[in-house]
Structure 1
């Protein structure tokens, strides 16, 4: 099974009016995925710096992107996935980082940095904060009850109708994220999951 690596990047939103407010009020407005940061981290940050953190959460890249592209989001720091960040940069919603102020920038893992660069010059506007993979999770007992020798190491578990139909009574759930599901479908049919070729992308539709 091919596994798609995804990256989350911290980017600085271009909201001049908010930046002025931050300077006056010593506040930073952060928009991040839910359940990604322990509340104590923000508390400790405020204790160490004197900067208050106003922390809001979202549950999909689409929600974040809609708010950013509408303009005047009010956020100083946001955390999009790499694929979304690329087009948000093109839309002009971020400002470039002043890396002279980032003392730990030299500690970034070059392997992940290079992978992020596949999406464009993201490293000028962001730093990679988290990366991971999307995989399959299943109840082994329930799978064995319904299908002996199920192809649990294959994406056929979710894309082959003859296989996935065996588990309909216990439920099969997929991420509500086209940027996750389409690459997985492409990998299943032997295509490059990172392709941007429109004709190749169409091949995922019947899957």
Structure 2
């Protein structure tokens, strides 16, 4: 997915000043012993007076030592909280005085937050490692954040169907797997067979409605309320087969609560690793539907009322170091937009076609996007009616 490009860096001109008024010669001073001056230490990040940073992120979405390493290097105390979905983050931001300095919205969903003036513009001069980002990848974010003024990428992936292969095969009996994996969770003839071993949906309107709309042949981010009626009718037919609406997908998959699930590609791979680590024999895999997975790009943003914006920028710069970008891929199973990190990513991760997708699978992905404020009520109403079974 990531293509290697050289990012041109603008180099500042050095201004030399050597002016002065000629004076009458003065007696030479007595010689003094001198030593060579030590090279100047690299300038550290600009920090706020209060060494605190408050971060609001998704669960299970950061490498093991990143916070501790940042605290040790900078002396900044990090308070780290998590939210379950974009809707919860949005409610916190709209209420105001969230208390957070960095939040991690999905780019498409975050467009309405940019439009609502909820974020500060990023001072890129304080993020030297911004140069590590792939310009082609940043152009994708610019579709919802023109000029890349507010969002700095965290990680990306796609919403898709995942399965426990052994349990799904057993539940289907002699019925072959569908060509389009979305049929497993959206088509009654498959969903009815899988309800015994459990179908799990992400508990998020902004994840379920786009893929449902796309499945019924409508734009994934439609602004037409009539399109939602068709998507809602399709979902209603499989509601009785859905066991769980999950906000803890990794734990629910690894804990065996379902055999087919709509989830994030990285979370499904993390759950698969946990099953292996505990000696489990079942094979958990994210699928690559012929109908396309839904791209998401999660990003760092600074709320308008953040009290420690310089500390936030220092963390962004720290995060964008090549080794930290590689650690996100190696530990968390999410690809990165950090081109400088690519040589440090393990071969088995780069070779996993559900993490770093082939060109063919990439072409099938549903591009990132978002719903406007005007249609958000329809999105939530359609989802809630489906979830309640009404």
Q: How does 1:39-54 map to 2 (within 5 A)?
A: 39-54=64-79
Q: How does 1:1-207 map to 2 (within 5 A)?
A: 23-121=48-146, 123-147=148-172, 148-151=175-178, 153-207=180-234
- Shift of the 60–162 alpha-carbon distance from structure 1 to 2, 3 Å rule, reads same
Unaligned residue ranges in structure 1 (runs of 5+): 1-21
Tell me, yes or no, if the aligned pair for 2:138 and 2:148 is still in contact at 8 Å: yes
Q: Alpha carbon RMSD of aligned pairs, Å?
A: 2.0
**1:42, distance to aligned residue in structure 2 (A):** 0.8
Aligned counterparts of 2:167 and 2:179: Cα–Cα separation in 1: 12
Deviations 1:26-82 (A, max 9, x none): 111111111111352111101111211111111111111111111111111110111
Deviations 1:114-156 (A, max 9, x none): 2222324372111111110112121222222232203164211
- Shift of the 109–199 alpha-carbon distance from structure 1 to 2, 3 Å rule, reads farther
SS in 1 for 2:82: strand
- How many aligned residue pairs are there? 186
Deviations 1:160-207 (A, max 9, x none): 112100111111111111111111112222333243344434431212
**1:112, distance to aligned residue in structure 2 (A):** 2.8
SS in 2 for 1:119: coil
Q: How high is the TM-score relative to the length of structure 1?
A: 0.81
SS in 2 for 1:53: strand
Q: How high is the TM-score relative to the length of structure 2?
A: 0.45
SS in 1 for 2:218: coil
- Shift of the 205–131 alpha-carbon distance from structure 1 to 2, 3 Å rule, reads same
